[in-house]
Structure 1
Amino acid sequence: MAPAQVTGGREGEGVPAGMFVKEVPFEIEEREVDESVTEPDSASVLGSEGDNEDAVAGGAEGPLLIIEEQDNVDDEDFMKDIPPGSLDTLFDPRLDLPRYKAPGIDLLNDYKDKIYKVPNEELERNNRKIVKTLSDYKISVERIYARTGPTVTLYEIVPSAGVRISQIKRLEDDIALSLAARGVRIIAPIPGTNAVGIEVANSKPSVVPMKSLLEEPKFRNADYDLPVVIGRTISNEPMMFDLAKMPHLLVAGATGQGKSVGLNAIITSLLYTKHPSEMKMVLIDPKKVELSLYSKIEKHFLAKLPDSDDAIITDTQKVVYTLKSLTIEMDARYDLLKIAHVRTVKEYNEKFLSRRLNPLKGHRYMHYIVVVIDEYADLLMTAGREIEEPIVRLAQLARAIGIHLVIATQRPTANIITGLIKANFPARIAFRVISNIDSRTILETTGANQLVGRGDMLISVGGEITRVQCAFIDTPEVERITAFIGDQHGYSSAHYLPEYTGEEGENSGIGEVDLGRRDKLFDEAAKLVVQFQQGSTSLIQRRMNLGYNRAGRIMDQLEAAGIVGPSEGSKARQVYITDFNSLDKILSSLD
């Protein structure tokens, strides 16, 4: 049998495993399956998750399980209306918008006239200059290999035995002077190899079209929950990652170096790969112009507060309320995960899609929520701690329940990117910055100050830094994508986040409510609240297709009738009534 190949730090460099790994026998224990144990029917699976409320019918031997009849009434009423065999198929959230089509690749430009090949003369000239500069300082080289990329070329140098790495590292400025080139950066050594890397900017940098990245088979076949492709590496490989595993992303760089284009590349990757039922985005844009292009997809992909007019959040106070609303959603999701006995949103959705969680007990499909903040520094200047506290809390806890943050700032200083932020954002992207101090603030090392700009960036994932040329997507392309999505049939409105009324709403009472002049939909709303056991205005608004003000008045009437408790600010109201019999008595007494 041929020995297996163990791949080293770089692609294409394999080491025979037989050189240092001894083959050992490997067996898997096979267990006999007891076929006498019957599978629970689909009806019992739907209502039994973690609660043991349905007995398994059909001859399974064992101790008798006694269940109170009252606990089973709702499930039995629910089950009798379901057509036979309908629970045998998996739940599909995409059926919410069955005719939705993802944007086509033809909406993007290929920019063929802006893609250049580095001439061999330039490579050979730089090669000679590097060797001469090193030899001037008595540093001999065994081999040089040039690897061309869209913006920079990496010269991999294998120094002779006895040469110290620090000797080459100290010559960074001398090599840059000899080559008369910008963007010279020395990697000493290249991780996983015995070579030193010298990155030199190409005389004519090429554009990396977003279209070419989305067409890559490697990206199209990637099994990612939130797939993002953001550019090409020096070896012209697509730089892609799963945002769900990052789990949050910090983007920094000076003005005009490509941050907004990078955000567009991230958002475009998600729009091309996800269905509106699988992902929602919260777009926060204090500058008011960068993310406004995405307002057309409000009824497909965007989420906002129930009383908010604009889906793109620009007002600072609305930003604070939105972030605190997301913490409410986070806590609610964790409660559902606890009931379902799972640890992540992926495990929870697998259970829900296989119909092992009962929707009547509050369970629901959890879509991913991606929060994009375009200018974090401006928010900190205007709101301070009110902004940082919910962001840090989301960054610490929200990764397991499908809420992921992408934060961009043009001021990567220590008072903006604090220790709490850095600790919870392990994945970072640095575009060109002015000083090495800013580079250290973002990446914990220098290098971002030596980039050439115009999309040239360093991305740090797990402490490993990679130089990437960011994908380019122009404003007309984004407009075509959003128009294509916006013209399709969508939801009735943007996705509503849990309501958050703020400090004023926490202490305000309901005032005088005349139950003799109840809303016509009062009874229906009361049954809805009792059914879902969730005293939320946004629930009434969403399920009954009402405006926010009318739904709020109905909630005040429900409180006055003793069906729900008073407002608790950032939490949903407590529901006092737990069954429909008690509710019918209250409704009868009001008539």
Structure 2
Amino acid sequence: MNRPRRRRQFGYNVEENHSDKERFRFPLNMDESIQNETTKVQEESNAGIKEDNDPIRRQQQQSLLDDTRFNRKRPKKNTITKARQVPSAIHGSKGNPGSRVGEHKDSSADDKTPGYVSPIVEQLKRERESREKRKQQRLQSNEKKTIPTHATSLDPGPSEAAQPQPSDLNQNEENSEGKKATSPFNVIMTPYDKNKHISKQNTVKRSGPKNTLPPLHILGEGQDSAYETSGESYADEVVAAFDAIGVPTKVIAYRTNGIIGRYELSLERNFRLNVIGKLKAHLVEVLPFDNVKVIAPIVGTSNIGVEFALPVIHPIPFSTLFKSSSLGSRKNDFKFVIGKTVDDQIFSFPLQKAGHMLIYGGEEIHSTSVIDNVLVSLMMNHSPRELEIMVASDKDDHIAYGSLPYAFNEPRSLKDKDVLSDVLEELNDRHNQFRRAHVRNLDSYNKRVKTDARKSMIIVVIDDLAELFEHNNPEAIRSIVQILKKGKPLGMHLVMNHSRKDVSIRFELLQMMQTRISFKDEKSRVVDNSDELVEGNDMLIQIPTSNKPLRVNAGILDQKIKENVLSHLKGMS
């Protein structure tokens, strides 16, 4: 469809309305003669206008001048001439809150009708007023306090003391006039300096802990250095035993922890290490030791190791474990120590990585020493606000921990149905609080909250787990399963002892225990190759960060030293 195009011209209607009015030619393409004539005509017209006194002519010229002049006072399209009185939830209504929009109100009238009142603004006003009032009261109370002046070396005599000083007269005049006391200095202080001086007086230094952690000398003496050479004289007999079965070897190193010794042997390059497994039965008959364990190869090397029990045992005291490890620096990293490995290295491990621990088999003396080493090493470096202990047992071995300030709850019997009810309630509370705080573990939660609201690490000792299975306490077993599933990130750890081998453990429960400690077990139910251990203080530890277990001998905590440490810990708060 063809439509006639309309010519677009700026001010088209204006030109039509004023077509009869005078127009001026644009003097761009004019000749000089024409330009001179136009200038003369313009000068004559201007002179005529000045001399002309015709009111009608003057009105026409004025209207023409107004139409051609650009009006700068004309508002733009997007300019709001008058703001609307719309009430706001934060700022309230602008202008007069009592008047409506567009309603004219006489200034002389006294209208007390309230308009829109914002509750947020009113609450902020009340808080600001109360804050200012408290600040003024605090300043007034601080100014009323008398600050003692420094005594000078020249003390006034009785005659001088009786005469009134000019400073006293001025002070009496100020008090009579009702003025407030100023700063004690003889200078004019600004309000900033005055507040700073008052804040220094009111600040109270932060006091440290009332009681200190147990000192290191309370742990007694360390291990005798004679253990390092014990069993070293069997090197020739070991080499002769390997030569007897046709395997030439050479002793490289010998290490011992005082209970178990190990020879490190190097073989020829063309010898296959998988043959050692077949020759192990012949080696046991030839070697001069009763209990022998052959390691082929040693982790990280191409050598083999021969481990054997020393005929003369040198016990490992707890003081050696604590002082020689990183625990001696007294850091609060929640590390515990158990014993020494065969290569004379101290076994220490953080509790957050260890998770839940199971101690399987062994005599009651050795399993108790493992639990004591874990608990005492943690209490030596942590206050009751950081660590709590709960004991569930029918024995008297760990009853002393219930009287300490570290106790989460009093010791309870495993036959009680509500033995772990408080622990399970704390577990659920922490789970809900961590979800509200949008965190997943205890460290993240403690970093977000204040010092008073921080959560402590909780250790639940269950001794003995076999009795719990025998007495058929389903409520306690359900609580244990819940703690095994959720407790590790929430800072709640189980340390369970299972001494009786005739009572089996369900496979599902065994898989949820991250750290497993096994003494000698002929069937190797908990840790593989535990049948090659020696009866007594010898165990394999399977940690979650390693595929192969470590052979460790537990340290011994003397009963007298234990009582001294616990008596010192009773005064902690």
Q: Which TM-score band applies after superposition, normalised by the shorter structure?
A: 0.5 to 0.7
Q: Which residue number corresponds to residue 195 of structure 1?
A: 303
| Deviations 1:342-382 (CA, angstroms, capped at 9, x unpaired) | 111101101113x7xxx8xxxx3211101111211111111
Alpha-carbon distance between aligned partners in 1 of 2:533 and 2:464, rounded to the nearest angstrom: 21
Q: Which residue number corresponds to residue 551 of structure 2?
A: 467
Q: Which residue number corresponds to residue 448 of structure 2?
A: 351
Q: Which amino acid aligns with 1:428?
A: R
Q: Which residue number corresponds to residue 415 of structure 2?
A: 316
**Deviation of 1:454 (Å):** 3.8
**Deviation of 1:222 (Å):** 7.7
Change in Cα spacing, 1:73 to 1:261, as seen in structure 2 (3 Å) is farther
| 8 Å contact from structure 2 (residues 418, 475) kept in 1 | no
Identity rate, percent: 22
Change in Cα spacing, 1:79 to 1:230, as seen in structure 2 (3 Å) is farther
Q: Which residue number corresponds to residue 33 of structure 1?
A: none
Q: Which residue number corresponds to residue 242 of structure 1?
A: 350
Change in Cα spacing, 1:391 to 1:74, as seen in structure 2 (3 Å) is farther
| Deviations 1:250-280 (CA, angstroms, capped at 9, x unpaired) | 1112224611011111111011011011110
2:427 equivalent to 1:330:
yes
Alpha-carbon distance between aligned partners in 2 of 1:189 and 1:247, rounded to the nearest angstrom: 30
How many residue pairs are counted as aligned between the two chains?
386
Helix, strand or coil: the match of 2:347? strand
Helix, strand or coil: the match of 1:273? coil
| 8 Å contact from structure 2 (residues 245, 282) kept in 1 | no
Q: Which amino acid aligns with 1:259?
A: S
Helix, strand or coil: the match of 2:307? strand
Q: Which residue number corresponds to residue 153 of structure 1?
A: 261
| 8 Å contact from structure 2 (residues 414, 467) kept in 1 | no
Alpha-carbon distance between aligned partners in 2 of 1:470 and 1:394, rounded to the nearest angstrom: 27
| Deviations 1:547-570 (CA, angstroms, capped at 9, x unpaired) | xxxxxxxxxxxxxxxxxxxxxxxx
Q: Which residue number corresponds to residue 117 of structure 1?
A: 227
Helix, strand or coil: the match of 1:347? helix
Helix, strand or coil: the match of 1:240? strand
Which range moves more in the overlay, 455-464 or 264-273? Answer: 455-464
Alpha-carbon distance between aligned partners in 2 of 1:69 and 1:250, rounded to the nearest angstrom: 61
Change in Cα spacing, 1:426 to 1:235, as seen in structure 2 (3 Å) is same
Change in Cα spacing, 1:482 to 1:69, as seen in structure 2 (3 Å) is farther
| 8 Å contact from structure 1 (residues 233, 469) kept in 2 | yes
Pick aligned residue for 1:101 from 212, 215, 227: 212
Q: Which residue number corresponds to residue 511 of structure 1?
A: none
Q: Which residue number corresponds to residue 450 of structure 1?
A: 532
Pick aligned residue for 1:380 from 469, 477, 502: 469
**Deviation of 1:68 (Å):** 6.3
Q: Which amino acid aligns with 1:479?
A: E
Q: Which residue number corresponds to residue 420 of structure 1?
A: 508
Helix, strand or coil: the match of 1:160? coil
| Deviations 1:308-334 (CA, angstroms, capped at 9, x unpaired) | xxx1222521xx424233222112112
Which range moves more in the overlay, 274-283 or 177-186? Answer: 177-186
| Deviations 1:68-96 (CA, angstroms, capped at 9, x unpaired) | 689999999999999999xxxxxxxx98x
TM-score w.r.t. the length of structure 2 is 0.61
Which stretches in structure 1 are left out of the alignment for 5+ residues?
1-65, 86-93, 305-310, 491-591
Change in Cα spacing, 1:75 to 1:418, as seen in structure 2 (3 Å) is farther
Change in Cα spacing, 1:176 to 1:401, as seen in structure 2 (3 Å) is same
| 8 Å contact from structure 1 (residues 230, 239) kept in 2 | yes
| Deviations 1:387-426 (CA, angstroms, capped at 9, x unpaired) | 322212211111111001111111246x533212221112
Change in Cα spacing, 1:72 to 1:471, as seen in structure 2 (3 Å) is farther
Alpha-carbon distance between aligned partners in 1 of 2:246 and 2:126, rounded to the nearest angstrom: 85
State how 1:503-522 maps to structure 2 within 5 Å: none
Q: Which amino acid aligns with 1:423?
A: Q
Which stretches in structure 2 are left out of the alignment for 5+ residues?
1-117, 139-194, 197-205
Pick aligned residue for 1:301 from 406, 417, 431: 406
Helix, strand or coil: the match of 2:563? helix
**Deviation of 1:215 (Å):** 1.5
**Deviation of 1:175 (Å):** 2.9
Alpha-carbon distance between aligned partners in 1 of 2:128 and 2:433, rounded to the nearest angstrom: 22
Q: Which residue number corresponds to residue 13 of structure 2?
A: none
Alpha-carbon distance between aligned partners in 1 of 2:471 and 2:331, rounded to the nearest angstrom: 40
Alpha-carbon distance between aligned partners in 2 of 1:190 and 1:382, rounded to the nearest angstrom: 44
Pick aligned residue for 1:432 from 520, 538, 542: 520
Alpha-carbon distance between aligned partners in 2 of 1:479 and 1:349, rounded to the nearest angstrom: 32
Runs of 4+ in 1 over 4 A off after TM superposition: 66-85
Change in Cα spacing, 1:78 to 1:456, as seen in structure 2 (3 Å) is farther
| Deviations 1:143-165 (CA, angstroms, capped at 9, x unpaired) | 54222222111112222233332
Change in Cα spacing, 1:196 to 1:302, as seen in structure 2 (3 Å) is same
2:450 equivalent to 1:368:
no
Q: Which amino acid aligns with 2:371?
A: L
**Deviation of 1:190 (Å):** 1.7
TM-score w.r.t. the length of structure 1 is 0.59
Task: Give the number of the structure whose alpha-carbon radius of gyration is greater.
Answer: 2
| Deviations 1:429-486 (CA, angstroms, capped at 9, x unpaired) | 12233x1x1x2x111x12x333334422221113331112211102222211111222
Helix, strand or coil: the match of 1:277? coil
Change in Cα spacing, 1:326 to 1:132, as seen in structure 2 (3 Å) is same
| 8 Å contact from structure 2 (residues 418, 476) kept in 1 | no
Q: Which amino acid aligns with 1:106?
A: H
Q: Which residue number corresponds to residue 359 of structure 2?
A: 251
Higher relative CO (CA 8 A, sep ≥ 6), structure 1 or 2?
Answer: 1
State how 1:31-180 maps to structure 2 within 5 Å: 98-110=209-221, 116-117=226-227, 119=229, 122-125=231-234, 127-141=235-249, 144-180=252-288
State how 1:488-507 maps to structure 2 within 5 Å: 488=571, 490=573
Alpha-carbon distance between aligned partners in 2 of 1:330 and 1:213, rounded to the nearest angstrom: 33
Helix, strand or coil: the match of 2:526? helix
Q: Which residue number corresponds to residue 548 of structure 1?
A: none
Q: Which residue number corresponds to residue 290 of structure 1?
A: 397
Alpha-carbon distance between aligned partners in 2 of 1:73 and 1:260, rounded to the nearest angstrom: 65
Alpha-carbon distance between aligned partners in 2 of 1:260 and 1:231, rounded to the nearest angstrom: 13
